[in-house]
A and B are shown apart, each in its own frame.
Chain A
Amino acid sequence: MTQHPSMKSESISRARYGCAVGAMQSAVAIPGTMPIADCGPGCADKQYASLAFYNGFQGSGYGGGASHPSINTTEKEVVFGGNDRLRELIQASTKVLKADLFVVTTGCISDIVGDDVASVVGEFQRRNVSVVYAETGGFMGNNFIGHEVVVKAVIDQYVGDFSGEKEQGLVNIWTELPYQNTFWRGDLAEIKRVLEGIGLKVNILFGHGSGGVEEWKTIPKAQFNIVIHTWLGLSVAEHLSEKYGQPFLHFPTIPIGSIATGNFLRDVGKYAKIDSKKVESFIESEERDYYKYMEEFSEFFSEYFFGVPSKFAVVTDSAYALAITKFAVNQLGLIPVKVILTENPPEEHRESIREQFRSIADGVSIEAEFIEDGFVIEEEIRNSDRKPAILFGTTWDRDIAKEVGAGVVEVSFPASYEVVLSRSYVGYRGALSLIEKIFTVTIGASA
């Protein structure tokens, strides 16, 4: 056997993401859509049980959990190939299930043995069955990477070409990774709410506020795309720019709190050429509510006898880490002592992400580190000169938080000690929930 070209260990303990086939959850996140797992018997269960269950207990939705089709590959398909079995399963799925769209997601086995998934799915597409395929073998990367593959598959194979008129004021939103982000349902609802508040028509595309595949069919009509993430969705927006001639706006920071959300809405409004009076009027009414609560909260914040902590660390994906850090610094006046980014962003985006953390606020700069291995993350926190009192992280961080005396706010996968329904941590309303959570955790642990 050839010597391995790299002699560096890439081992990961306590993983903080799924694999590419975990993006079957992105199909689940489109209302009415169902994945067909072209995988081994345990792959779909692993991805669902971790991303959608022991992560805020979000649930399986219409198309997920144990209810969607799965090949459950056996030795026979490994040896003789899985094309016939895939054909049979797709056909059976159309007979047994009701779905607006099926998305075949391939796993390691199918991709290694080289099944001709494209041609099997093609047979059904020619019969006008709503089915697409995405090559998402687990060895190709994580579920962030898989998400973009699934999204492009639906756009290219289902939404298709478009030559009609664009609709002024219609926008497509590409932001958090569904299910991976424990709070995505509430967050997407809040993002949609504030954008509608300034008069836009919003294709939110995933979650309960999405119109499902009918909404996806209107993607090409949108005036422009908005990417609200450090990097996820940029390649989709670039693809749409080529395919449909749509420009896009990129906001690396998901807005949390009145300052970030107000600025976000002003930038979007200006770009979409919305009357600034309308934008300002919405911001004003939102701020009126927001600051009533802030005023009352300020009593706790300034007068709580035993003080409330300031130093915080963030251990999560780069987008949520940036959003939380900016809010905690700029609106709460908390102090970041450690930022560890865990989702393995593509190399080409890393420097721009680092730059974002170098300019959090005037005089506030922090060097973000990209680490995926649980052991190394713990060592970083353990050996840090400045120990956090608040740790924005995951269930994996409970032990090290306890060791250094920090309270854990579980903000991303896996959040196995959070039950999450519609709670959001972004925008105006989400910021209030985040404040509630941070300080309930900190004073809850005090005695």
Chain B
Amino acid sequence: MARINLDTAAVESREQRLGTVVYWDGNALELSEKSGYSKKGKCGSGCNLCEMKGPFTQPSVCSEQMVECQAGNIREAVLIQHAPIGCSASQTFYNTIYRIGLASRGHKVENLRISSTNLTERDMVFGGAEKLRLTIEDVWNHYHPKAIFIGSSCATGIIGDDIDSVTEEYTEKLGIPVVPLHCEGFRSKHWSTGFDQTQHGILRQIVKKPTKKQEDLVNVINLWGSDVFGPLLANLDLRVNYVVDLATVDDLASMSEAAATVAFCNTLGTYLSEGLEQAFGVPQIRAPQPYGIAGTDAWLRDLARVTHREHLVEDFIAREHARIAPEVEKLKKKLGGKQGFIATGSAYAHGLIEVLRELGIRVNGSVVFHHDPIYDSGDPSQDTLAHLVDNYGNVDDFVVSIRQPFQFFTTLRKHNPDFILIRHNGLAPLAARLGVPAAPLGDEHLAIGYNGLINLGNLILEIIERRRFCEDLSKHVTHQYSDWWSAQTDPGILAKHPELIWEGIDI
């Protein structure tokens, strides 16, 4: 695969590296073939994956928010938002998840440490570099952090502040890594570039050349989920190094010493996994993700291979299969035949659909917020979409849509599922108004591994009871959509016929 280029401060955007699309509809098999990753469909390569584009759009999420939720959630570090004050509003969100994550992992609960340079109109004229220097000095004097991250903004990107020079100056002056993160929202159409940019900065300036190897240490790239990987990997005599959220700067620095890297979701982990492999020789797992029985089996076997635990893994897998079988059977009886719907990030959706189908739940539709035709390793063994289609069958209605409730309004009414699984804000409120209960999956580890089947099954049993609340609500709400839009059955109609918006208008 392409070299991860650590020479420049700005990461290559996800659409440049992976050909990421944010708007497409069809079925999962077709998308898998057109991606040309492990499957070579009729077209033979990814060249036919045409992205749609329409005239009507609703709010998305930006790369800077993903920088906040990663670099802003590292213990003993500070993130500076080099931006007007509005970019700081989302700190409230990331503070909530940080506090809940700290509590869940047994760390001291405290507010996150993010500071804004608070740029105003005159800074747009004169430039904001001097205010950046003053803010770096503030956070150094206030907190003496072990690292300072500097996130850029749309405003500083346009006025052309030279963040790289300032970070170099202060890396030298303070003797700690001062890391520039170029995350202007307009620069990438999908927010996951913000993950990549944070991880790029960490690879360039935080991760240390290994002085020793820790043969039992595994980097787990995740967010703030509960400690599920720790007990799971203990069965293979392995320890976890959770990164990036809630990690300390030293945890990040020592990633190079680990025996392997895994991720709860390839969308999040693709860049850092590949970077650690290329730059520091830490192997990543060449398997799909640990969701469902087949996925978890394959994932554990590859992890055992890489960490030389083959002697432990088969026995563990057999024990786990036997352990969960009765509980899974019970859940299947209760959930079999129910209809589920998934609306989450891309690779995560692939994993969740596998778990639902193992529980006997029908999944005919899914909305994913983007699609990466390939991952950074370029290794077809990581093709999560093909793994889903090959092992669990096609998903007939597979929509790539970057949130966009107006499309979800059309899609969800068509499917009318018993419940939906959702991650990222923006869509669950609409589902409730349409009478469909949604589980928000704030703890991203809930569905991982063998226990994931049981955890998710039990959660769904709770959630479907909320249908009473949602159905009652749905009888009393007014939707925002016009009669014309409400009558549409194709969520992509405006992309196919953008001229429709001017129908009947004489200009």
B86 touches A21 (CB 8 A): yes
Min Cβ gap B340→A in Å is 22
> Quick one: which of A5-47 are within 8 Å of B by CB?
5-15, 17-22, 34, 37, 40-47
Given contacts A9-B135, A66-B425, contact A54 B93 (CB under 8 A): yes
**Is the beta-carbon distance between B111 and A14 smaller than 8 angstroms?**
yes
Top 3 closest pairs, chain A to chain B, by CB: A19-B86, A42-B62, A66-B426
Shortest distance in angstroms between A198's beta carbon and chain B's nearest beta carbon? Answer: 33
State in angstroms the CA–CA spacing of A348 and B403 once bound together: 43
CB distance from B221 to the nearest CB of A (A): 22
A93 adjacent to B56 (CB under 8 Å): yes
What's the minimum C-beta distance from A304 to chain B, rounded to whole angstroms? 29
A65 in contact with B426 given A11-B115, A12-B88, A19-B86 (CB within 8 Å)? yes
Q: Is the CB of A40 within 8 A of B56?
A: no
- Does B312 sit within 8 A of A, measured CB to CB? no
Asked if residues B131 and A19 are in contact (CB atoms below 8 Å), the reply is no
Interface residues on B, range: 35 or more
CA–CA, A141 and B119, complex, Å:
9
The answer, yes or no, to whether B389 is at the interface (CB within 8 Å) is no
Tell me whether A139 and B123 are in contact (CB under 8 A).
Answer: yes
Most B Cβ at <10 Å: residue of A20, A68, A108 = A108
The answer to whether B215 has its CB under 8 Å from any CB of chain A is no
Q: Which among A96-104, A246-254, A431-439 touches the partner chain?
A: A96-104
Q: Chain A residues near B494 (CB, 8 Å)? A: 92, 96
Tell whether, in the assembled complex, residue A50 and residue B115 are in contact, meaning their CB atoms are under 8 Å apart: no
In the bound complex, do residue A40 and residue B96 qualify as a contact, i.e. CB atoms below 8 Å apart? Answer: no
Is A15 a contact partner of B501 (Cβ separation < 8 A)? no
From A15, A49, A65, A98, give the contact of B85 (CB < 8 A): A15
Q: Look across to chain A and name the residue whose beta carbon is closest to the beta carbon of B90.
A: A46
**Residues on the A chain within 8 Å of B88, using CB:** 12, 15
A120 an interface residue at 8 Å Cβ cutoff? no
User: In the bound complex, do residue A98 and residue B481 qualify as a contact, i.e. CB atoms below 8 Å apart?
Assistant: yes
Contacts of A416 in B (CB 8 A): 92, 95-96
- CB atoms of A42 and B92 under 8 A apart: no
Q: A residues engaging B (CB < 8 A)?
A: 1-15, 17-22, 34, 37, 40-51, 53-55, 59-60, 62-63, 65-75, 77-78, 88-89, 91-93, 95-99, 107-109, 112-113, 127, 137-142, 374-375, 395-396, 398-399, 413-414, 416
Chain B proximity of A168: nearest CB distance (Å): 34
A-binding segment of B151-159, B172-180, B251-259: B151-159
Q: Which residues of A contact B189 (CB under 8 A)?
A: 41, 74
> Given A42-B64, A70-B58, A98-B482, A50 and B123 touching (CB < 8 A)?
no
Does B103 lie at the interface of the complex (its beta carbon under 8 Å from any beta carbon of A)? no
Chain A residues with CB under 8 Å of B83's CB are 138
In residues 130-151 of chain B, which contact A (Cβ within 8 Å)?
130-131, 134-135, 137-139, 142
Cβ proximity bits B60-100 to A, threshold 8 Å, 1 near / 0 not: 11111100000000000000100111111111110110000
Cross-chain contact of B426 among A41, A45, A78 (Cβ < 8 A): A45
Given A4-B130, A49-B425: A113 and B158 within 8 A (CB)?
Answer: yes
Complex CA–CA separation, A77 to B482 (angstroms): 28
Instruction: Tell me which residues across on chain A come within 8 A of B113, comparing CB atoms.
Output: 13
Instruction: Tell me the B residues contacting A by CB distance below 8 Å.
Output: 54-65, 80, 83-93, 95-96, 110-111, 113-124, 126-131, 134-135, 137-139, 142, 153-155, 158-159, 184-187, 189, 191, 403, 405-406, 425-427, 429-430, 478, 480-482, 484-485, 494, 498, 500-503, 505
Residue of B at shortest CB range from A98? Answer: B482
A11-B134 contact in complex given A41-B62, A97-B482, C-beta closer than 8 Å: yes
Cross-interface CB contact of A68 among B58, B191, B502, cutoff 8 Å:
B58
Residues of A within 8 A of B60 (CB): 41-42, 45, 70, 72
* Beta-carbon contact of A11 and B96 below 8 Å: no
Give the interface SS of chain B, mostly helix, strand, loop or mixed.
Answer: helix
B131 to chain A, nearest CB (A): 7
Is there contact, CB below 8 Å, between A95 and B501?
A: yes
Q: Are B121 and A139 in contact (CB under 8 A)?
A: yes
Contact of A1 among B93, B126, B134 (CB under 8 A): B126
Contact A48:B134 (CB < 8 A) given known A2-B127, A15-B85, A95-B484: no
B59 and A72 contact, CB distance less than 8 A: yes
A69 near B84 (CB under 8 angstroms)?
A: no
For the complex, give the distance between the alpha carbons of A40 and B92 in Å. Answer: 19
Q: Are B92 and A50 in contact (CB under 8 A)?
A: yes
Question: In the complex, which residues of chain A have a beta carbon less than 8 angstroms from the beta carbon of B500?
Answer: 95
- Complex Cα gap A247–B250 (Å): 63
Q: Which of B88, B89, B126 is the most central at the interface, judged by chain A CB atoms within 10 Å of its CB?
A: B89
Closest Cβ of chain B to A344, distance in Å, is 9
* B residues less than 8 Å from A95 (CB atoms): 56, 482, 484-485, 500-501, 503
Give the shortest distance, in Å, between A193 (CB) and chain B (any CB). Answer: 23
Given A11-B138, A96-B406, does the pair A399, B111 have CB atoms closer than 8 Å? yes
Chain A nearest Cβ from B426, distance in angstroms: 4
Task: Apart from A74-B189, A95-B503, A139-B119, list 7 A-B contacts with CB within 8 A.
Answer: A4-B128, A7-B130, A41-B186, A45-B65, A92-B494, A97-B481, A112-B155
- Shortest beta-carbon distance from A240 to chain B in Å: 26
Residues on the A chain within 8 Å of B57, using CB: 69-72, 89
Interface centre among A51, A89, A127, A138 (most CB of B within 10 A): A138
- The residue that A43 contacts in the complex, of B91, B110, B185, with Cβ under 8 A, is B185
A91 to chain B, nearest CB (A): 5
A67–B482 CB distance below 8 A: no
15 contacts between A and B (CB under 8 A): A4-B128, A10-B134, A41-B186, A41-B189, A42-B63, A45-B59, A46-B86, A49-B89, A49-B93, A51-B89, A66-B59, A92-B56, A95-B501, A107-B154, A138-B86
Known contacts A13-B113, A47-B89, A96-B56: does B158 contact A112 (CB below 8 Å)? yes
In the assembly, what is the distance between CA of A212 and CA of B265, in Å?
45
Please indicate the chain B residues that have their CB under 8 angstroms from the CB of A8 in the complex: 134
Which residue of chain B has its CB nearest to the CB of A136?
B86
Q: Is the CB of A66 within 8 A of B86?
A: no
Q: Shortest Cβ distance from B158 into chain A, in angstroms? A: 5
Q: Are B86 and A18 in contact (CB under 8 A)?
A: yes
Hey, which chain A residues are within 8 Å of B130, CB to CB? 3-4, 7
- Candidates B159, B185, B403, B429; contact of A40 at CB < 8 Å: B185
- Contacts A4-B126, A67-B405, A91-B501; A13 near B154 (Cβ below 8 A): no
- Which residues of A sit under 8 angstroms from B129, Cβ to Cβ? 1, 4
Are A45's CB and B61's CB within 8 A? yes
Q: Which residues of B contact A137 (CB under 8 A)?
A: 84
How far is the CB of A22 from the nearest CB of chain B, in Å?
6
The answer to whether A1 touches B426, judged by C-beta atoms less than 8 angstroms apart, is no
Check A42–B85 contact: CB distance below 8 A.
no
Q: Are B131 and A14 in contact (CB under 8 A)?
A: no
Please measure, in the bound complex, the distance between the C-alpha atom of A99 and the C-alpha atom of B482, giving whole angstroms: 9
Write the chain B residue with the least CB distance to A11: B135
Q: Which residues of B contact A13 (CB under 8 A)?
A: 113-116, 139, 142
Q: Judging by beta carbons under 8 Å apart, are A50 and B121 in contact? A: no
Residues of A contacting B121 with CB < 8 Å?
Answer: 139-140
- By the criterion CB–CB under 8 Å, are A66 and B58 in contact? yes
Chain A residues lying within 8 Å of B120, measured Cβ to Cβ, are 10, 139-141
The reply to whether B137 and A9 contact each other, CB–CB distance below 8 Å, is yes
Measured CB to CB, the closest approach of chain A to B181, in angstroms, equals 14
Which A residues are in CB contact (< 8 Å) with B478?
62
Chain A residues closer than 8 Å to B153, beta-carbon distance:
108
